[in-house]
Every structure is written in structure tokens, then in C-alpha cells.
Amino acid sequence: MVVSKANKLSSVFISRIKNSAQSSIPSAATVKNGDIPGTSQAVKDLIRSKISSSGTEAPLSDQISSLLHVSSLEKTEDNILKIPSFNAKIPIDISLRSKELSRERKERRVYKKNALSRRFAKIFRDSAHKLGTDATFGAFDRVAKEMSVTEYNAMVGVYFELAEKSHDLEYALDHIGKAFEILKTMRDRGFQIEESVYGPVLEYLIDMDMVDEFRSFRDVISETSPGLVERLGYYEMLLWIQLGDGEKVEELCGAIDGNGHCLTLLQENYLLALCKKEQKDHLQRLFEIIDITKVRSLDLLENIFGYLGKFSLDSLAKKFLWELRENDEGVKNVSDLISIYSTCTPNLTVEDTILKFNKMHEELDVMPSSTSYEKLVKYSCDSNEVVTALDVVEKMGEAGVTITADILHSLLHAIDEVLEFNLVRRIHSIMCTKSVKPSSENFRSMIRLCTRIRDFEGAYNMLGNLKNFNLEPNSSMFNCILAGYFREKNVCSALMVVKQMKEAGVKPDSITYGYLINNCNREDTITKYYNEMKQAGVQATKRIYMSLIDAYAASGQFENAKQVLLDPDVPARYQNELKSELISALASHGKRADALILYEEMKETKCQVDPKSIISLIEYCDSNGDLNTLVQLADDLQDDHSWIDGFFRMILFAVRNRKSSNVLDLLKRNEVRLSKKDIHVEYHFDEVFWAIAETEPTEVKLGMDLLRYIKEELGFVPSRKCLDFLLHACVNAKDMKNGLLVWKEYQSAALPCNVLSFLRQATNLAKMYQVLLAAGDLEGAKTLVTKISKDDKDVQHVIEESQIVYSQTPEKKKPKKKRIVFPTK
């Protein structure tokens, strides 16, 4: 957040509060209490409205509908899988299947609710971007009496999102005021405000030190439900901790005592805030008086033991664990708390953490639970110790502990990051044991892993193993195999997958047809699969239309790619994303000029362009491209992560195409953005130095200027790769002076030293040897060579080749053979 903190209630906010009672949003007097499920009909009508066909300016609500064109949500029936195996019908446990279906329906309801909230948030956000927040707020205000709690929640979230991103304090406070009006209207209509809505709001106000605003929001929120008062105590404690008001914190701590049958909810929330903020002094005193067995909240217990682990408070942790061990209610949580304590203890290797985990279980005479193992496996995976995590899971299987789907998920995700063949085979073996309870998603992930290591036989074996767990194959599993074959350019096998899919009773879905269309190189086959999809009753999705654009562009049918946007079946709400996809497709297939025209048209009409499309315009610029145009494209990228990607692609273009005179100025101009803590620029600078090393003739001066800029302006130590590439550039340019300066950077930089680092150091010594030889400094080269290990054959080979190239150690001449004189008479 760039806005400076405000301690006093702004005049903007005061006026909002005063006028909120007279707001045009209807109150409880005019609207019946109760929730309207889904998106309200009035809002749907507002969004669906068309721009007036007359020449006059369309009404505001019509402008919104033109922008978004959102149709009503379609209700879909439960898609219950009834798929036979390849050869026989899979026996299904009816009771188990009934439970699964119940769970699936519940998950779908939750997903639909969340998707609806996200959808309305996108509608409101896009409308605000297009029309401005004041106009959008006014438009939705007109239909407020029909709005549901989902829509109100989305509006509150968008207002605070805009306030957080703003650089203008007045603008931010104005949006906070609007959010306050909405919350007050929700209270008047009898809607309960959930913590997922008010939590981020209060945290933002706390972070900005807005005490008066915090109190106003807290009062409105508490009035919606008396039961929220205890939970709001958590945020109040966070506020006083943030402000450093010791007296207020101590006053609230005074409410926590060891009396009573158990801690009250308010006391637990105070204690939770103290743990979250690691208030050592207050916690030390409270831990002496509270009875750990009186803590009812498992979340609080986990935070307490996380805190104890972080500060290595072994004696106190063991005391609490023994007390819980002897308590009938507390004993069930002991194993999980041991896992949390062990994994939060700092300065321990993963192996030491596991030893601590085992030792504490033995001392307390409790068996590790499945959930405690799950925490240990996740901790190992997060620490990049995938092999150790697999060892733990194998031990679980040997001990008869059930390996849950969540444990498999953590393992599969970690293996997906490293993608080693042996690890994939090990997890494959684990999933074939009977102590495992995998989900369909676990199988899909495993099949995907097999295809990524080109083990298609293993992928099919996983499909065959489904019946052992009363699971059925689905389209997503086959799609993983299909995608794998297409990555290998094995079209025949890919088409065979579709055939096998149909034989197994699994219908191809939109993703299947998307892969088929995307990998076509002829117009007639593209049309064939698209028509087949429509005949099968599969609805065209946004991804299908994108696949059509990509396939037509890849096959040189650029006009057909453009015609996809004009298809009357394409929903208007897809237009912006499809235009963005067309920009990327045109730019990547030699039609960058057309892509740039389309981009400028979208900018003029204030349409939102996908950042990836803007980056593609930078990436596929030819050597004659205009650097100023690329600079403008990079500036058009709003979010930091997209901007950093596009900005450095523009820098690479300048370096590779001899247009680097302005590179340093561009970096200095964007210094504030480059210095942000959440932006990691080291990797991008590695690429820039690599480009400098590979460019002929080498621009050593630019490299040295960048090195100074990184150290002096951005204030971070250059990576070893940066120095590697820069030293390589000095060798190529035979620049001994700068080469020696780079070598000094190696010696002064506190870079990590492991086996790989030592090898790189030896290699760079050899490179430095080349620099000295190239400059004719024979004595310096002779001194340096004594420091190079003779154990590394590759390094020694570089030295020998350098001696030959620079003719400092000529090749040994072969001795002349003595002439054999035969005796004569």
C-alpha cells in the first residue's frame, strides 16, 4: 500500500457516515428481510440490458450491459459418473457411492456460491474500470432493493481492493466510506456479515492505523449479529498491538484469567491475537495462570504450540502436552500439537525435526495420528525434502496408518516441482498399496506426472488401478494422457486416446476438443472437430474459442482467426479475452503489426487487455522494432508481476539489438518499482547479463554499469550467475581491467558455498586465467593457476586450451625420429 497512514477520521469519511442514513439504498422499512439466493433478477436485468440502438447516448445501466453482457446462470444437473472399466463393470459400494455423491453435491453448492461471488465481483470491478466507481455505484444503487448478500459482499470486497491499490489517500478514504454505506445497508436489511467480508476490511484499517474508522466499522458489524462481539475482540487486540498502546493491550489481557470452567470466546480471541503477533511479555505472564485444558479452540491451541516451537520453549511445551495427555478431551489433539511444535522449531534440519517428532511421541506414549503425519509430510515437501517425505509416507504404510488424499496431494505437488523419474516411480508404488485412500484428483495428478516423464505405460496402469479403489475414470484423466501425447507430437497415439475414452464410456468434454482443435494444422480438420463437438452436445467454452483462434493462426488462416470474434454464438462477455488471445496469436505467428493495431483499438475503447498479450507484443518484436513502443507497452502493464516480466523482456530486446544506450536510464526511471520487497528481480538480471555475454561484440561497459547499479541503487548483492556471465563477457572482450574488478566481486560477495559453488569458482578461476593470458599478464596467470584445483578435469582442459589459444605454452614438439642409416658395402 503506497498511501501514508492516517490517524484521524477524514472529512470524506465523516460525510459518508452522516449521509448514510439518508442513502438512496432502501432500508429494512422498504425491503423485506432475508436472503435472495443467487444473483438477483434486477441485477441480472441490469447486466443483460443492451446498448440503445439509437444514436443517443445509452443509459448507464445499458453501458454496463454492453461492457459485460452476462447472461443468467444456468442450472446443471448432477453429473454422476456411470463409467465402466475397459473390460468389465466396476463393482461400486452403494453406501460409499451415496456418501461420495452427497459430498460432491455439497462441494458443488459451495463452488457455485463462491463462483457467483467471484463473478459478481468481476462484474463490479470491470464496470468500475470502464465507467468509474461513482457511476457504477449509482447504477447498482438503483437496483439495491433486489440485491442479495452475495452481491453486497462482492461490492465491499471491490471497494477495499481499489482502496488498497490506490496511491491517493483521499480516493482510498472515499472508497472506504462507500464500503461503510454498503455494510450499514446490509445491517438494515438484516443480512449477517461474514468474517470473510469484514476480516480483510478491519485488517486494512488496522494496518493503516485508522482508529476512528475501525470503531465505526466494528459497531456496524457487531450490530448485525450479537455473536460477533467476541470475535471482534480479536481485531481490537490486533489494533492496540499495531498502535503500540501497551496500556490498552494490558487492559484487555486483564480479562484473561485462570478462573472458570473454561476460557470464554472473548478471552480465547484475545489470546489468539497475542500469539499471532508474538507478544512475548504478555504471553509469558498469561501462560503461568491459564489452564491449557480449558482452551476449547483447536485453532488457538495450534497457534500456542506454533509460538512455543518458534521460540524453542521446550519445557513449557512439554508441560502443556502432559496436561493435555492426562485430559480426556485434550489427549486426542496431542499428536497434532507435537507435529506443529516440531515443525515450527527453527534451525532444525528436516531429519532433526522428524527425530524430535518421534522422540516426543515416545516420551508422551502416544501414537502419531494420520493428521500429524500429514503435517510432517507437508513440512518436508515445503522444505524441498521430497525424498524424506516419501520415506515418512512409506513408514506410515508399514505402520498401518491410512495415507489420505491430502497427504498424497502434498506429495504429488512437490514431485511435480522437481519431476524426477525415481520419485514418480516411488509415489506410483505407494499409490498401489492398500493403506492408501486416494481421490480421483490424486489419480489425475499421478497420470499427469507419468505423462510428463514420458511414462505412458505407467499412466495407463494408473487408469487400470482405479477399480481397486472403487473409483471410475473421467475425462480429465484421459485428457492428461491426450495432452502428453500432443506434447510429444505423437498425433496417432493422441487420437487413440480419444477412441479408448469413448470405449470406456467416458464422453470427451470441451477440454478434450480444445486439445484436438489446438493441435490441428489444417482448416478442414479444425472444422471437423468443432462440428463433432457441437453434434455431441458439448457446449463451446471460452477455451474452445481460444483454441480456434490459436489453431487458425498456427495454420496461417489469419482471417478465420479474426472471424471467430464475429461468430454470433460467442457470448459478448468473452470478447475482451478473445481479442487478447488473438493479439497473442497474431504476434507469435509473424503478424505483430496486425496485433498492435488490434491492441490500440482495445485501448481506445478502454477494453481490458490480458497482460500476457501485451507481453507477447514485446517478446515478438523484430530487430527493427521501435524501443519507445516497447517502453510504452511495458508501462501499460498495471500489476507488478506482469510489469516486471514485460519490462525485462524490453531490456533484453534493447541489449540483443544494440539499442542499449537508454537501458540504464530506463532502470533508474523505474527504480521505485524495482525496489519493492515483493518483486524479485534477481532472476531477471541474470538473464540480462547472459544476453550481454552472448552479444557480439560484447558490451562490457553496460555490464559493469549494471553491476554498479544493482549494488549501489537497488542495494542487493549480485548473484553468482550475474558474475559468471559478466566474467565470460570480459574474457570474450579480452578486457583484463574489468575482468579483475569482477573477480574482486567474487571475493567480496558473501555468496553461498556448496559443492556446486566450489565447482563454479574453479571454473571462473579458469576464466580469469584466460583474461590474464589474453592481456599478456604471464606472471599473474602463473600465480593464478596455482590456486586452481587439479582434480577438476574440465577446468584443467580450459587452462590447457587457453595456453594453446594464446600461445603462452606452445604444444610440445614431437622429437624428430633418428634417421636410420643402413650399412653399405
DSSP string, 657-687: TT-GGGHHHHHHHTHHHHT-TT---HHHHHH
Whole-number Cα distances in Å, 44 to 47, 463, 668, 673, 781: 5, 43, 48, 40, 78
Contact criterion met (CB below 8 Å) for 102 and 94: no
Residue 387 pLDDT level (bands cut at 50, 70, 90):
very high
Cell numbers for 652: 533484453
Short-list 731, 722, 706, 749, CA closest to 805 = 731
Cell of 692: 550481454
Least confident stretch, 55-64, 170-179, 407-416, 443-452: 55-64
Per-residue pLDDT at 60: 37
The predicted model scores a pTM of: 0.70
Contact yes or no for 156/182 (Cβ under 8 A): yes
Highest averaged pLDDT of the listed ranges 250-259, 754-763, 766-775: 250-259
Arithmetic mean of pLDDT, 781-809: 66
Which among 346, 367, 348, 349 has a CA at the least distance from the CA of 358?
367
CA–CA dist 407, 374 (Å, integer): 5
From first CA to last CA, the distance across the chain in angstroms is 107
Q: Any idea which of 253-257, 682-686, 786-790 has the lowest mean pLDDT?
A: 786-790
CB of 586 closer than 8 Å to CB of 595: yes
What per-residue confidence (pLDDT) applies to 798? 66
Asked if pLDDT for residue 270 goes beyond 50, the answer is: yes
Judge whether 722 and 689 are in contact, CB under 8 Å.
Answer: yes
CB contact at 8 A, 645 and 614: no
User: Considering only CA atoms, which of 346, 410, 402 is closest in space to residue 375?
Assistant: 410
Other beta carbons less than 10 A from residue 573's beta carbon: 18
Phi and psi, residue 340, nearest 5°? -65, -45
Residue 508 has pLDDT above 90, yes or no: yes
Kindly state the average pLDDT of the residues 304-313. Answer: 95
Beta-bridged to residue 436, according to DSSP, are 403
What is the mean pLDDT of the segment spanning 581-586? Answer: 97
CB 335 within 8 A of CB 367: yes
Closest residue by Cα to residue 507 from 470, 478, 541, 531: 478
Residue 560 has pLDDT above 60, yes or no: yes
Rounded CA-CA distance 434/73 in Å is 42
Residue 594 CB contacts under 8 Å (≥ 6 apart), including other chains: 558, 586
58-116 pLDDT per residue, tens: 443 343 333 333 333 333 334 333 322 333 333 333 343 344 444 444 444 444 445 54
Show the CA angle centred on residue 411, arms to residues 405 and 417, nearest 5°.
135
Distance CA 599, CA 736 (A): 47
Residue 375, amino acid: K
> Nearest 5°: phi and psi at 78?
-60, 125
For residue 138, what is its C-alpha cell? 449509482
Confidence label for 20 from pLDDT (cuts 50, 70 and 90): very low
Do the beta carbons of residue 667 and residue 697 sit within 8 Å? no
The DSSP result for 156-173, as a single string, is HHHHHHHHHH-S-HHHHH
What sign has the CA pseudo-torsion 524, 529, 532, 537?
A: negative
Query: Residue ranges of the alpha helices (H) in 34-93?
Result: 41-48, 60-68
Rounded distance between C-alpha atoms, residue 473 and residue 457, angstroms: 16
Residue with cell 468481476: 122
**Of the candidates 811, 735, 725, which has an alpha carbon nearest to the alpha carbon of residue 776?**
735
In 621-662, alpha helices (H): 627-636, 640-656
How would you label 518-554 residue by residue, b for 16+ Cβ within 10 Å and e otherwise? bbbeeeeebeebbeebeeeebebebbbbbbbbbbbbb
Q: Summarize the confidence of residues 358-387 as an average pLDDT.
A: 93
Contacts of 547 (CB under 8 A, 6+ apart): 513, 514, 515, 517, 518
CB-based contact 609:578 (threshold 8 Å): no
Maximum distance among all alpha carbons in the chain? 140
Domain boundaries, the chain: 638-750, 752-803
DSSP string across 554-588 = HTT-HHHHHHGGG-TTS-GGGHHHHHHHHHHHHHH
| Cell numbers that stand for 566 in this block | 464475429
> 781 pairs with which residues across the strands?
none
* pLDDT of res. 750: 55
> 38 or 707: which carries more pLDDT confidence?
707
Mean pLDDT of the chain: 80
Distance CA 180, CA 162 (A): 14
Angstrom distance (rounded) from CA 299 to CA 460:
42
CB 702 within 8 A of CB 667: no
pLDDT in tens, 128-157: 666 566 666 666 666 566 678 888 888 888
What are the residues facing 403 on neighbouring strands?
436
Cβ–Cβ under 8 Å, residues 506 and 478: yes
pLDDT, one tens digit per residue, over 587-636 is 999 999 999 999 999 999 989 899 999 999 999 998 888 999 999 999 99
Percent of the chain with pLDDT over 70: 74
Identity at 719, one-letter amino acid code:
S
Kind plus residue range of the DSSP H or E element containing 281? helix 280-289
CA atoms of 639 and 636, how far apart (whole Å): 9
Residue 574 — pLDDT band, cuts 50, 70, 90?
very high
Instruction: Decide if 570 contacts 551 (C-beta within 8 A).
Output: no
